[in-house]
């Protein structure tokens, strides 16, 4: 520990705070300590901890769509933070199926994982009770609240308001939405925020222009087809994530509809490829790596016996590119 | 089992073959059986197996870059095949670091995973010996051979030959390569195949136009900068994967170099986004889902006590788009 403190140019107490998560430490200081830890190959001994707690060194990240690059970045940041503490992150895909979500949570308890970070899709809000009873630290990254866990939640209200104001300012009038599925836990908060912001910007979202989807590229293609079959077509589409927006682009290309001339498209997340597709995608940027870091911090604090059921907000932003 | 057979319209013996992997079954039949298995919620009891073998229900997929969409598809296909047998796939990222690769293999043994599928990057060729000794079924998906495991290997010789012939036919003369790192296990077979095919096509690959990289988008950006600084610039670039090729596109855009007018670009893998970037990427298509299915079959056969150390070839193809 003294070596780490010397290498990082901080006090031993600070090193201890960073490793234990017992007190907040400035980002720069934390990074210097983590860098020194990595350089020196120093780790809190996870095997000793594992023997004491009977838990494995694995932390499970459970996600609805492993092919969505958003989660690769979340996983990367989570791993970067947890590695210094001797934990390995493993990612598991639920394909947004409730049964798989329940199965995986059960297995995580049964196999004594060190912790779990999850983006639930169709789980009950109290699905984490058993986990808590079994003493498994858990953090949820989601748009809706779940009981008995720490939460990392996006704060995208302002960004969505700016997005709808942008559409109004560029003369769009009728907005379609490729939303989430109707049976997702807690409804569809992204859709609600879009509706509120549209009303504030004086834009209409007719009922037949709200199409449910599974947050997948395929859902974007199918959703676009339904929008084009509407009595009055939209001149803008908001999508609940970028993968869906990419599907909308596929659909538009097949149908010979020009983006943004005929229709504007806005996504959510800002995955890497949002800036690579043509036209480049305007999107609500939601910082995956920051979500991963927050989840890691909350998880480490729980492992350390700190209180749970906190909510941490991560602010989203609007990134304007050429699809609007 | 009888119910499954009736639902799938096949004999009980066929169901047994599909579930056990004991005999080859036509793809359509296998799909019908798996579909029936899913619909009926029937599973070979993994808990019973777990009690017998002392192993968990988790199969680890260990990959060098979790952000590369190739692995998301491999994981998806692996999961689809293994779910019917009661196994869950978890994906873990090594970031191509040898130390992390070794760590993860050790943990997989220690935590009694049911099996492991891995794309090693810097591991020793005999790194799987301990796994075998511990009785953990293992399959490697790689371009080079490793001892003591089943292998799923690409057969891309013909596709790479067609790629280089295409470059020659379109008047390209000097080919640059953004290759893998120099210290990767077994060297860089993709580079060797590119060199052989270039010679056969009458194209030159000068030494200073072979740039090592880490198979990442960043490696593509840096590699492109180095190629542009060469005494004689290349008029074509072959990249060891699509993620690297996307980095080359980033670099070309920053430098104001036109693709394909000034320089042709070819990748490897054919990830989803290869057809979404502009220009659309010409690439050596390597079927990720087929790799996942092959790996699942080999793994299930090992779990069933069948012989190991087999090699299964998956044929790659050239997909011509607008970057050449």
DSSP B281: P
The CATH number of the domain covering residues in A43-153+289-313: 3.40.50.2300
**Residue of A276, A279, A322 to mutate, testing the B interface (most B Cβ within 10 Å of its Cβ):** A276
Extract the tokens encoding B17. 């073959």
List C-alpha distances in Å: A108 to A28, A85, A103, B230: 33, 19, 9, 53
Ramachandran bin of A12, using left for φ above 0, alpha for ψ from -120 to 50, beta for the remaining angles = alpha
Which residues in chain A have Cβ-Cβ distances shorter than 8 Å to B276?
Answer: 246, 249, 273, 276-277
| Interchain CB contact of B5 with A (< 8 Å) | no
Lowest-confidence region among A7-21, A72-86, B240-254:
A7-21
Those residues whose C-beta lies under 8 Å from the C-beta of residue A196, and which sit 6 or more positions away, are: none
The model's confidence at residue A12, banded by pLDDT at 50, 70 and 90, is confident
pLDDT of residue B8: 77
Q: Which of B60, B76, B89 sits opposite A67 (nearest CB)?
A: B76
Tokens of A19: 């490793």
Superfamily of structural domain B157-285: Response regulator (3.40.50.2300)
pTM above 0.90, yes or no: no
Contact A111 B111 (CB under 8 A): yes
Task: Give the pLDDT of residue B37.
Answer: 62
Angle at A181 between CA A175 and CA A187, to 5 degrees: 90
Q: Rounded CA gap, B57 and A60, in Å?
A: 14
Q: How many CB atoms lie within 10 A of CB A204?
A: 12
Are the Cβ atoms of A272 and B217 closer than 8 angstroms? yes
User: Hey, is B116 helix, strand or coil?
Assistant: strand
* Residue A41 scores a pLDDT above 50: no
Of B91, B272, B273, the CB nearest to A90: B91
- Other beta carbons within 10 angstroms of residue A226's beta carbon come to 17
Over residues A201-227, mean pLDDT? 96
Which residues numbered 254-313 in A keep a CB inside 8 Å of some CB on B?
A: 272-273, 276-278
Beta bridge partners of A151: A140, A311
How many Cβ atoms from other residues are within 10 Å of residue A171's Cβ?
9
Cβ neighbours of A56 in B, within 8 Å: 107, 111
Strand pairing category for A88-93 and A236-239: unpaired
Kindly state the average pLDDT of the residues A182-192. Answer: 94
Task: Report the distance separating Cα B136 and Cα B148, nearest Å.
Answer: 11
Find the closest chain A residue to B79 by CA distance: A93
pLDDT at A48: 47
Asked if A308 contacts A302 with a C-beta cutoff of 8 angstroms, the reply is yes
Q: Do A157-285 and A43-153+289-313 fall under one CATH topology?
A: yes
Secondary structure, 3-state, chain A: CHHHHHHHCCCHHHHHHHHHCCCCCCHHHHHHHHHHHHHHCCCCCHHHHHHHHCCCCEEEEEECCCCCHHHHHHHHHHHHHHHCCCCEEEEEECCCCHHHHHHHHHHHHHCCCCEEEECCCCCCCCCCHHHHHCCCCEEEECCCCCCCCEEEEEECHHHHHHHHHHHHHCCCCEEEEECCCCCCCCCCHHHHHHHHHHHHHCCECCHHHEECCCCCHHHHHHHHHHHHCCCCCCCEEEECCHHHHHHHHHHHHHHCCCCCCCCEEEEEECCHHHHCECCCCEEEECCHHHHHHHHHHHHHHHHCCCCCCCEEEEECEEECCCCC
Reported as a pLDDT band with limits 50, 70 and 90, residue A20 is low
In degrees to the nearest 10, what's the CA dihedral of B280, B286, B287, B293?
-150
Question: Which residues on chain A are in Cβ contact (under 8 Å) with B58?
Answer: 90, 107, 111
Q: How confident is the model at residue A156 (pLDDT cuts 50, 70, 90)?
A: very high
B277 secondary structure, DSSP code: B
Tell me what percent of the residues of chain A surpass a pLDDT of 70. Answer: 89
- What per-residue confidence (pLDDT) applies to A39? 59
Tell if the CB–CB gap between B79 and A69 is shorter than 8 Å.
no
pLDDT score recorded for residue B51: 46
Q: Identify from B43, B74, B91 which residue to disrupt to test chain A contact, counting A C-beta atoms within 10 A and taking the largest count.
A: B91
A183-192, A300-309, B133-142: which range is least confident on average? A300-309
B107 shares contact with chain A (CB less than 8 Å)? yes
pLDDT higher than threshold 80 for residue A245: yes
Kindly indicate whether the domain formed by A1-42 is annotated with CATH number 1.10.260.40.
Answer: yes
CA gap B24, A182 in Å, rounded: 41
CB–CB of A88 and B107 under 8 A?
Answer: yes
Dump pLDDT digits (tens) for A107-142: 988 888 999 999 999 999 999 998 888 889 999 999
At the topology level, CATH places domain B43-153+289-311 in Rossmann fold (3.40.50)
State whether residue B241 sits within 8 Å of chain A by CB: no
For residues A282 and A260, give the distance between their C-alpha atoms in angstroms, rounded to a whole number: 10
Q: What is the DSSP letter of B55?
A: -
Query: Where do the structural domains in chain A lie, given as residue ranges?
Result: 1-42, 43-153+289-313, 157-285
pLDDT average, residue stretch A77-85: 95
Q: CB of B109 within 8 Å of any CB in chain A?
A: no
Is there a contact between A58 and B88 if contact means CB atoms under 8 Å apart? Answer: no
Residue A259 CA to residue A248 CA, distance in Å, equals 10
Whether A79 and B93 lie within 8 Å, measured CB to CB: yes
Mean pLDDT per 10-residue interval, chain B, length 324 residues: 70 68 70 67 45 75 94 95 94 95 92 94 92 91 92 96 98 97 94 97 95 95 97 97 96 96 97 89 96 97 87 97 97
The tokens for A245 are 């927006």
The predicted pLDDT at position A26 comes to 77
Of B111, B217, B276, the CB nearest to A58: B111
Residue A34's nearest CA partner among A90, A79, A92 is A79
- Is residue B315 within 8 Å of residue B100, measured between CB atoms? no
B249 chain-A contacts, CB cut-off 8 A:
276
Sort strands A210-211 and A175-178 into parallel, antiparallel or unpaired.
parallel
């Amino acid at each position: 520990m003294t070596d780490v403190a010397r290498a990082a140019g901080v006090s031993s107490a600070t090193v201890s705070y960073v490793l234990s998560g017992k007190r907040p430490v400035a980002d720069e200081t934390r990074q210097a300590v983590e860098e020194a830890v990595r350089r020196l190959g120093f780790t809190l001994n996870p095997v000793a901890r594992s023997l004491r707690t009977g838990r494995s060194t694995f932390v499970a990240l459970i996600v609805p769509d492993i092919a969505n690059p958003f989660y690769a970045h979340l996983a990367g940041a989570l791993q970067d933070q947890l590695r210094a503490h001797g934990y390995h992150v493993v990612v598991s895909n639920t394909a947004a199926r409730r049964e798989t979500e329940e199965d995986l949570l059960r297995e995580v308890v049964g196999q004594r994982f060190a912790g779990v970070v999850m983006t639930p899709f169709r789980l009950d809000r109290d699905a984490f009770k058993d986990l808590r009873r079994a003493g498994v630290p858990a953090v949820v990254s989601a748009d809706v609240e779940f009981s008995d866990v720490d939460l990392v939640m996006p704060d995208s209200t302002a960004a969505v308001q700016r997005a709808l104001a942008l559409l109004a300012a560029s003369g769009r009038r009728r907005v379609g939405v490729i939303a989430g599925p109707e049976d997702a836990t807690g409804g569809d908060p992204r859709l609600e925020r879009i509706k509120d912001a549209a009303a504030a910007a004086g834009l209409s979202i007719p009922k037949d222009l709200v199409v449910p989807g599974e947050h997948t590229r395929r859902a974007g293609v199918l959703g676009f087809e339904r929008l084009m079959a509407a009595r009055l077509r939209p001149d803008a589409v908001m999508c609940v994530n970028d993968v869906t927006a990419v599907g909308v682009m596929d659909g538009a290309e097949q149908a010979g509809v020009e983006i943004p001339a005929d229709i504007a498209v806005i996504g959510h997340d800002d995955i890497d490829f949002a800036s690579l597709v043509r036209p480049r995608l305007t999107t609500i940027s939601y910082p995956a790596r920051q979500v991963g870091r927050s989840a890691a911090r909350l998880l480490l604090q729980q492992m350390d016996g700190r209180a749970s059921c906190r909510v941490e907000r991560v602010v989203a932003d609007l990134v304007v590119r050429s699809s609007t």
